[in-house]
Structures are given as structure tokens and as C-alpha cells.
Structure 1
Amino acid sequence: MTMPRDADATRARLLVAARDEFAAVGIAGARVDRIASAAVSNKAQIYHYFGSKDGLFDAVFDAMVVETLDDVAIDAADLPEYAGRLHDSYARRPWVQRLATWYRLERGDAHAPIDAVVRSNAGKLQAIEDAQRAGLVSSAFSAVELLGIVIHASALWSGAMPEYTELTDRLGPARRRAVVVASVAAICSAGSLPTAGAGRRAG
């Protein structure tokens, strides 16, 4: 009767151990024996639950996306505060940006899109478009542009180089969050972009 619970517990430990291993050294550098040891398990269990090291990374990444969605639901009517809450989530979970970086470096365009990410993006874009149609969000920027601004602004500090992080650490967490929120608010209230070449001198 306890086997399902034991299996779930083993799988959960493997996901946490794999998350830390992948975040530290990437996909190519990760070792299944280290993951198994950290999870108090064995390599056979990894292959049983996930099929391969790549399959394990996919499971870790999927879990991370779902966790982020559960942790920070989009509020398209208040994108600045949504960016602030995303910032808070990244600050609590530093492995998120590291895993995303390894994904970009080692998977890139050669890997099939992760369904959880595709669905997440589609849902967020729809929410922003609905808010724009309702007049709750400026239409100066497209939904795709606004989503990109929010995503990158919220990760402004967590995705920075260590040398820059040493400088921003002096600001303190409250100030860093305030900068993210204020930046997105300023962009959301800005007018439309100038047309190409508008700043060039005539003649």
C-alpha cells in the first residue's frame, strides 16, 4: 500500500537533485550518478522514471514552468505588479534563470518546443490582448512586445553577470523590486514608438 507514495517521493527527490545539478553544470555537464546519489536513489530509477538524462531535464524544466505558473498567475490589467511578482519568484528560486540559460545554450532551436512553455506564452498573450481590447492596457505596444518587456524586466537582476550583481546587491531587495515595477509601468504608459528614421536629420 505504501509503494505509490514511496515512488512519488523518489521521483520528487530525483527532480530536486536533478534541478540543482542541471542548474549548476548544465545538461552536458550533469552526471546521473551524482543526481542519484544526491536523491538517495540509483541510476536505474532515473532511467525508469525519465528514460534518459535528456528526459530528466525535460521533466525538471516542465516542473519549473508549472511551478512558476502556479506561483505567479498573470494579471494583464496590472503588468507592472505582475512583473514585480515574477521578480519575487525568481529571487526565491534562483535556479530558474540558470536552467533557462542552459536551455538556451544547449537546446536552442534544435530541440522541439516545450509544450508547457508554448501553452504558457499563448495564455499570457491572450490575457494581454483581452486587456488591451478592454482598454485596461495600452495598445502602444503589441501583446508580444509587452510580454517580452515584462519577462526580461522581471529577470533584470537574477539574470545579470556576477560582476554587475555585486553592484546591484548594494541596492537591496526592495529597491530592486521597485525598479522592475517602475520600469514596466513607465513602458506601459509610454506612447507609441517613433517610426524608423524619425530621428534622422533631413537632407
Structure 2
Amino acid sequence: MRAAGHATRERILAAATAEFAARGVAGARINRIATEARASKDRLYAYFPSKQALFDEVVRQWVVDVDERTAVRGDDVAGYVGRLFDHYLDNPQSARLQAWIDLDEPERLAADDLRLTALRPKIDAIRQGQADGHVDASWHPADLLIVLLGIARSMALSALAVGKIDGGPRGRDAAGIRRAAVLAAQRVAEPSSTEG
């Protein structure tokens, strides 16, 4: 792909990410995406044959980006929550996109879907943490991952709301909210004293 074509494709993906984060798949409009990307609808459809194909590519890029920034280690699941919290704070539309995915997309998930395949290494890391005695073994690893994801996202959204009140997403209370999120994850995941 030539540099100009690559730049156009990237503008389309950036505009689509913002549109899908704001409105979900059903509410997103190709006209708005094309206008924001400074591309014609024909050019957009040359890269992505449908709105769903465009959404799928936005989600694919989002999954890769989040995975690169937030690795899970079985000996530090609370640190994972902190890194994910930071990601959501730095990228508020990421938290919104996740919410739309959760609302709009579950019935479309296939066993080989990138969103599911991206979760498997995280589940395996938690399982290893359980085997090594770092994580409460009474949890099903997938259930614990869902709880950890929920802690990170809900607490980050809380910090973003506080940030709007006091002047920005990295407002004076964000660090305290992050500490609370990490502590909550630590308490949820730590092995009970009766294990072992």
C-alpha cells in the first residue's frame, strides 16, 4: 500500500474508532466517519467493505493495542489492573469502546474471535499464578479475569468523572482511585490463609 493510501486508511480507522466509541455499531454512521477522515464513502468502502468490517478492524487494533500495553502476570494481577486503569485513563474512548463491545457484540463472538483468543493468555497467566500460589485457587481463572477487568474499567471511569470535576483526567484524585483499584484487585486475588 502506498504511503498516501496507508495514511487515508489510518485516518478512517481513527475516525471510526471515535465514532464507534461514541455511538456503538448501531448508532455509528459511515457518512460521519468518512467526513471526519477526509475521505469519500467510496474510498472508505475500498478499504472496508461494510460498517461491520470496519468495526471488526477497529476492535482488532484495539485488542492488539491494549494487549501490548497491559500484560498479565500470574505473580502480579494487581499490577495488571493498575496498567489497565492507566490505559483507560490515557485513552477514555477505549473504555467506551469496550462498553459498546460488551453491549452489542456478545452474540457475534466465535471461538476463534480475536477478543477471545486475546483473553486466553491472560487466563493462562492467572492459572499459572494460582499454581504458583500467588492467586486464590478457588477462583475460576476466567471469572477472576472478568472481575479484574471490571475493577480496572469501573474505577478508571470513576477517575475520569472526578477529573471532569477538577479539571482533567489526571486530576488530584486519580492517583488515589488507582491505588484503590489495585488494592481491590490485590484483595480479590490474594490466596486465602487457608489455602495450601
Q: Which amino acid aligns with 1:121?
A: L
Equivalent of 2:91 in 90, 93, 104: 93
Q: Distance in 2 between matches of 1:77 and 1:186?
A: 14
**Structure 2 residue aligned with 1:50:** 48
**Structure 1 residue aligned with 2:169:** none
Q: Distance in 2 between matches of 1:46 and 1:167?
A: 35
Q: What TM-score does the superposition give when structure 1 sets the normalisation length?
A: 0.82
1:151 aligns with 2:152: no
Q: Distance in 2 between matches of 1:41 and 1:119?
A: 33
Q: For residues 153-200 of structure 1, what are the alpha-carbon distances to aligned partners after superposition, in whole Å with 9 as ceiling and x for unaligned?
A: 11123446x9xx3599676110010000010111122539xxxxxxxx
Q: For residues 51-79 of structure 1, what are the alpha-carbon distances to aligned partners after superposition, in whole Å with 9 as ceiling and x for unaligned?
A: 11111111111111110001111122101
- Contact map agreement 1:66 1:116 (CA 8 A) in 2: no
Which structure 2 segments of 5+ residues have no match? Answer: 167-171
Query: Which is higher, the Rg of structure 1 or of structure 2?
Result: 1
Matched residue SS, 2:55: helix
1:61 aligns with 2:59: yes
**Structure 2 residue aligned with 1:128:** 126
Q: Distance in 1 between matches of 2:40 and 2:164?
A: 41
Q: Distance in 2 between matches of 1:64 and 1:154?
A: 16
Q: Go from structure 1 to structure 2 and tell me whether the alpha carbon gap of 1:104 and 1:142 turns closer, same or farther (over 3 Å shift).
A: closer
Percent sequence identity over aligned pairs: 32
Which structure 1 segments of 5+ residues have no match? Answer: 193-203
Q: Go from structure 1 to structure 2 and tell me whether the alpha carbon gap of 1:185 and 1:117 turns closer, same or farther (over 3 Å shift).
A: same
Q: Which amino acid aligns with 1:173?
A: A
Q: Distance in 2 between matches of 1:61 and 1:107?
A: 11
Q: Distance in 2 between matches of 1:174 and 1:158?
A: 10
Q: Distance in 2 between matches of 1:188 and 1:103?
A: 26
Q: What TM-score does the superposition give when structure 2 sets the normalisation length?
A: 0.85
- Contact map agreement 2:162 2:174 (CA 8 A) in 1: no
Q: Which amino acid aligns with 2:76?
A: D
Query: Could you say what the CA RMSD is over the residues aligned between the two structures, in angstroms?
Result: 2.4
Q: Distance in 2 between matches of 1:166 and 1:176?
A: 10
Q: Go from structure 1 to structure 2 and tell me whether the alpha carbon gap of 1:166 and 1:127 turns closer, same or farther (over 3 Å shift).
A: closer
Q: Distance in 2 between matches of 1:166 and 1:130?
A: 36
**Structure 1 residue aligned with 2:189:** 188
Q: Distance in 1 between matches of 2:165 and 2:185?
A: 21
**Structure 1 residue aligned with 2:140:** 142
Runs of at least 4 residues off by over 3 Å: 165-171
- Contact map agreement 1:46 1:52 (CA 8 A) in 2: no
1:82 aligns with 2:80: yes
Q: Distance in 2 between matches of 1:9 and 1:35?
A: 15
Question: How many residue pairs align between the two structures?
Answer: 187
Q: Go from structure 1 to structure 2 and tell me whether the alpha carbon gap of 1:32 and 1:86 turns closer, same or farther (over 3 Å shift).
A: same
